[in-house]
Structure formats: structure tokens, C-alpha cells
Structure 1
Amino acid sequence: MPDIASRTLAILSLLQAQREWSGDVLAARLGVTSRTIRRDFTRLRELGYPVEAARGPGGLYRLAPGTRLPPLVFDDEQAISIVLALQTAPSSVVGLDDAAARALRTLKDLMPPRLARRLQTFEVHQIDNAWDLAPPKVPSGMLTCLSTAAQQLQLVSFSYRACSGDAAEDVAAVVEPYKLVVWSGRWYFIGYDQRERSWLSYRLDRVENLHVPGWRFTPRQFPADDVTAFIQLQPDRGDDSDAWPCRGTVRMDCPVELVAKWAPGGANLAAIDESTTRITMGAWSWAGLLGLLCTFSCDFVIEGPPELTAAAGEMSRRLARSAKTGPVRS
């Protein structure tokens, strides 16, 4: 019986790692006959695992989608990966914190002592970084709705709070959903807006009254090769104007493609011409905001607010004094 049980678990683990296996290959790998393998698969079906078999030399076996999630088998490295993922998962989806905690407790309770001792080395404590603004949370039902609509080629309609600098307005949208994206902790989805007749990205925390009216659409070819670059170059990609205590706008002598790649995820930007970009972003202090802007090592003109201009004057005087100071002697 122990041999049967361990072999059954080994087969299950192999089927989860690779979609399809030959019966002869499994028999050779496990050191048994093909007839024994066939009995093992009968046993798996009796346990509720949806195993499919194809006729032919040696037979082909694979796990098929079932009506319920059967018990899963993980090796040590897979178990450790799942525990680490549950401990470090971003909490940007409403309602998943408790589910993740329960899954983590279940895994730890079921682990053998040797693996539990090993996992003690991987206890993770997350520390908030003052420069990383916590991303807005989105409801899990919204993710499910958009993902299902994209898969079934169904239009979605919603009200969207579009932001441009410090201004915001609610607009109605009818969109062909394409893909969900997480960037810098913020949830977006990409789709073709039928009213605007263009591909756009939308911040999910700004979507309200999401509805699937039941209209289907014919899929289009996404025009960009790089989804990341597409999201980064959207002018309405960043945080709302009140997300940071200090927020300003500058005109920067730098191409928008370069600014988009290196600017914080919460920044909004727009191309003025091929070599000039307008960028609006925030920080915890005016000096900190200027420090972020200076990392681009290019000239920029402050468009507002006055507090940022005043801080720039004070920083320029401070830097001038620092430049005149001789080397520090110990």
C-alpha cells in the first residue's frame, strides 16, 4: 500500500508538471509495468481526478479540467514558492487579504516538520517605503468581470474618471476589453474604445458602474508590440492630483519615451514635441519632488505650483553653497 500511494502521488505530480505523458514513459520512469500504470490511473479517477486517456501504443494520459478542484500535490520547492508568494502578494485587490492568510495557514498546517522548519528561514516581514505610495485597491469582482468579458469577446460599458493634470472629469466608455495589466502596483486594463475609436488603457480604481450589456465584438489586432511601453506612454496613467501631499508640473527637455520609462508609476505625462515632455507627479516633499526631477539630468521649466518654484530657488542656493564648500577633513 505505501508503494501504491507514493506512486500515485508521483504520477499526479508529473501530470501537473507536464500536460501529457505516455504510459510507457511513466512505467519506465517509475519502474513498473504499463498494466500497473493503467490501474494507477483508474485509482486517480476514483479519487476524483479528471484523467483523460488516448488510445495508441503505450497510451497517452493527461489531466483534464474538472467540475471541482481536486487535491493538489506540490514538491518542496513548489510549496516554498507558494508560501513566499502568499506572504509578499500585493494587497491591491479588495477581499483577498483574508483568503491569502487562510491559504497560508492551511499550507503551513499541512507541511511535514522538515519542510516547516525549512520555511522558518523564509518568514517575510514587509516594511512600507515612504516613497512608494500604496496603490488604490480594486474589487476582485471587477477583475473577474473584465477577464471573463475579454475571454468571451463581450463589450463592457462603464463610467471612467479621466484625469488630466489637476483636472478630472467623468466620461462614459464602451470598450472591447483586451488585457489586464499590473504595473507599479496599479491595476490597468487595455481595450479598444468604440467611441474614441482608439486603443486606450484604464486605471481600474477609476472605473465605476461596470456593466456587460451582452453585446459581442470581433477581436482586433493590438497595435503595439510592447504592452509595458503602451501602458507607460498613456497620458492618463498616474495617480489622482490629491494622492500626494506635494505635486507639481514641469516641462522637461527629454523625449517622452525616455521619461515614460523612468518616471514613477504615479506620474502623468504628455509629449509636447519630439524632445519635450510635460510631466505631473508627486512626492512627500517639494525637495523630494525636485530630487526626482533632477534624476533625468536635463533642463526643465516649472509650470506650477508656486511652492515648487520656491523650493527650487531654495535648493539652488543650497547646492551653490555646497559647491563652494571645500572637502570635508576628518
Structure 2
Amino acid sequence: MPIADSPSTSKRLLALLSLLQARRDWPAPVLARRLEVSERTVRRDIDRLRELDYTIDSTRGPDGGYRLQAGSHLPPLRFDDEQAVAIALALRTAGGLGADLDEAAERALGTLSRLMPAHLANRIANLSPVSVSPAPGGAAAAPVDPGLLVRIGEAIRAEEELRFDYASPSVTADTSDGEVGRRTEPHHLLLHSGRWYLIGYSAVREDWRIYRVDRINARSHNGRRFTPRTVPGGDPARFLSARFRGSDTEDTWACWGEATLPVPLAEVAPYLGDGTAEALDDERSRVRLGSWSWGSLAAAFSRWDAPISDVQPRELRSAFAALADRAAAAASA
């Protein structure tokens, strides 16, 4: 009759599995030293894992050892704390892949969380206020310490003011509230176009603020407790998008204008972005575009390198005049 594994044997098997998952090849003597057992015990434990359907090959040579291979199905896995947080982050942001994975990712995260020790499950639960907007093609992500994301998530969940230093490109330190660094009531953590952002409310300025997480250096202690507020409009992702468009309210560009171009609609359409156009005839199009400023909008219409007429509104016509002056000055410089 087989003898049941002791608790120490089960613990050693999990440790062995973790090592085998960490790298491709393990010499048997190295495994024995890492586990503080004999090579004979390692061989026994390898056989036990094989009985559990793990595909483990023996490697030959003077440093013969073992290699974990892919099997016919996915066996149980073991993750350390950092790996578990990384997987949770990936599952939280799976919606940004545009592959209709939200439900499957949520179920996978639920399974993972139920099997975790309480302290780690709580850390991952604190990552729940995450919204995602997909990055444009080829956009590079700004690297962020996963531990910082967890720390921000904890502050959001605990409703505690977050204190941090901020590497602003224009201001080295914000001392408007009488102290070096910054403080905010953290409300939402979002991944937008490859960057992590924190939406917070400044009680001192009585206004909402947006911070790039890769510029945040959190201090060791959080601040006072606060009562959660509702972000303007009620949708954090739309609020963030609106700020990028120069709008404080709706998720739309601050400036919109129209003009007629002597360009066929088929040649205009690929460059409209979120603008619109209609064909006036086979050779002309009426184009409507938006941007964060009138000057940038005038420049956007100039991309087609064609005469522009019937410009509306008046602010856009003024912006074209200013753009023409700057272009003339640059040409004569």
C-alpha cells in the first residue's frame, strides 16, 4: 500500500516544480543543493511529478539533470508573489487587446485569486479600479514598477490620500500646499495608450488632476482618509480621454471646424482620424476635423497640401491667418 506524502514532501515537490518552471535545464546536483536533499530524493520527487502528468525529460552528460517540457494538457502551476502580480495585471488589462477576452480574463483572475494566500489575494484585489484604452499601433509602453501599481491600488481601495514626489518635465517640486512633493485623493488607475495614469482629486486646488504613474515616486506613508468623489461625467476613461483632447467636460475635441478641399473623398478618407467628410462632387470634399486648439486644427487641414476654402468657424479662419504669418516668417528666416 503506498504511503501518503508527508507535508514536508508536498512542500518540497512544490519547491522543485517552481525551480523546474524557472529555467530550461537543471543539473541534478544543483537541484539537490537547492532543495537540501540527496540526488536520490530528487529522482524520487521527479518520478512523483511525472505521476502527476508533468512531462520531465532526463538530460545526459557529466551534469545530467532534468528539463520540464510542455505536456498534453496544462498541469497545475506554481507562481511566486511577483509572478502572480504580473499575471493579475495582465488579466486586468486584457480588455485593451481588443480580442474579446474580458470575460475569460475575469474568470481566470477569479480562479487565480481563490488559490492565493490571503495577503497576496488582497494585493491583487486592490488593482480592481483599472480601466484600459488600447495603445495605438506600434506605441511603446512606459515601464512602471508593478509594486507601485499595487501601492496606488491599495491607497484607492483604502480611501487614503496618496503622498508622492513627481518628476514633472516642467516643475521639479510642487510646493503650493506647503510641502515638498504632492498629495492627492487617488480615485482611478488607468492604462491608456501604453501609459499608466492616476486620476486624483486635489483638495487644496479643489480640482481633478491626472498624473503619469511612471513619474510618481510614492512616499512611505499615506495621508488622511477621504470620502470618494465621482469623476466629472462619471466615466474615468472618458474623463481622461477628454483631458487629452483639451476638454474639461465631454470626451470630444475642444475645437471643431470645417473646410472644403479640392480632393476626392477617397483620398481624404484615410487621413480623417475621428473626423468626417462628405463628397461635394467627384473632385471636392467637405471635411470636418477636431483638435485641442485652433492652431493645431489649422495645421491638421493643411496636411492635404491643397487649396482650402469656405472655412468655418471664424476662429479657424483666424488660426489660418496666424499660421500663414508663422510660415512666412519661417520661409524668410
Pick the structure with greater CA Rg: 2
What TM-score, normalized by structure 1, do the two folds share? 0.45
More strand by share: 1
What TM-score, normalized by structure 2, do the two folds share? 0.45
